[in-house]
Amino acid sequence: MSEISTYDGQSLPFEQLAKAIAERRSTYGRASGLRIDRAERGEAWSSLPYQSVFAGDTESGVIHGGVVTAMLDESCGMAVQLALDGSRAIATLDLRIDYQKPAKPGLDIKAHSICYHVTRSIAFVRATAYQETEQDPVATAAACFMIGANRTNMLQNREAYGVPALDAPEDEAGPFAKSPFARCLGMHLTEDGVLHMPFSPKIIGNPVLPAIHGGITGAFLETTAIVGVARELGIATPPKPIGLTINYLRSGRALDSFANVSIVKQGLRIVAFQAQAWQDDPAKPIATAFGHFKLRRVADKD
């Protein structure tokens, strides 16, 4: 590949750029095992090896939707970086996920992301997550990224950062007893029904700031919505995610995060919800989410 032209006249050899992206990704991305398999200008193919900790439900073994969300967020970021020169930081502005079908347990998840348009300050991306073929997707995504979001640069030479292990402590009495991924992120309900996610090294996206991984914030909001909607409706079977749009308003700092959800509209089969996450001030959310769930009256494999 040739060098990539940029607005300010600087450039980085494409092979060097792809190598830096493969080696210097987010802390959570490295801990999860996410890898970039192929790179072209503005285009990335990645894969995520299956781990038992990714399960959202131990009975079905189905992978937690938040795992797919986090993978698509980072895979989209890879495509954006491959469309740039490697000198500027990027940050997710919004991420839209449409769930086509549940990810099967035991199989790797793959993603193909394309950065199809770049302006001076915004990059636009679309992506597909799949397991067997790209024509049979698990989920699709569309996202916008800010270019030059801060003064850090994860692709430049920097000190080595440790890779934390992803584990799921047992909690037989808690609401996430059957959800290893939620337990991996340390999620638990407070007495007033707010969901709490403590800060830990495993959820870091940018280790230079440090900041929480945008995909993990999305996973946190999705889990909050599932738990909150099920509890408010008094249903034992968790609702099935259909679509989720996440808007990132502030950087998630190295602090504990909290989230709640409200039902916008309830039908016989579909529920519309809105959720928000914050850290030290509920009036200053770090992200909001809007989406739809399908109600399931009986347990199924989805």
Please determine, for residue 264, whether its predicted confidence score (pLDDT) is greater than 90: yes
pLDDT in tens, 144-161: 999 988 777 777 655 667
| Gap between the Cα atoms of 30 and 267, Å rounded | 41
**pLDDT score for 45:** 98
SS3 content of the chain, % helix, strand, coil (to 5): 20, 35, 45
Query: Considering the domain 14-294, what is its CATH architecture?
Result: Beta Barrel (2.40)
CB 244 within 8 A of CB 222: yes
**pLDDT score for 11:** 62
E strand intervals along the chain: 35-40, 43-48, 90-99, 109-118, 122-130, 137-147, 188-189, 195-197, 204-206, 211-212, 240-248, 257-266, 270-278, 287-294
Q: Which two tokens stand for residue 280?
A: 């030290």
**pLDDT score for 8:** 39
pLDDT in tens, 32-46: 999 999 999 999 999
Please determine, for residue 5, whether its predicted confidence score (pLDDT) is greater than 70: no
59 band by pLDDT with thresholds 50, 70 and 90: confident
**Residue located via tokens 């086509």:** 100
CB 213 within 8 A of CB 253: no
Query: What are the structural domain ranges in the chain?
Result: 14-294
**pLDDT score for 51:** 93
Please give the mean pLDDT across all residues of the chain: 89
Mean pLDDT, residues 287-295: 97
pLDDT in tens, 211-221: 999 999 999 99
Mean pLDDT, residues 153-171: 77
Higher pLDDT, 239 or 154: 239
Mean pLDDT, residues 276-289: 97
pLDDT in tens, 107-120: 999 999 999 999 99
Please determine, for residue 9, whether its predicted confidence score (pLDDT) is greater than 80: no
Mean pLDDT, residues 216-242: 93
Mean pLDDT, residues 7-25: 75
Higher pLDDT, 156 or 204: 204
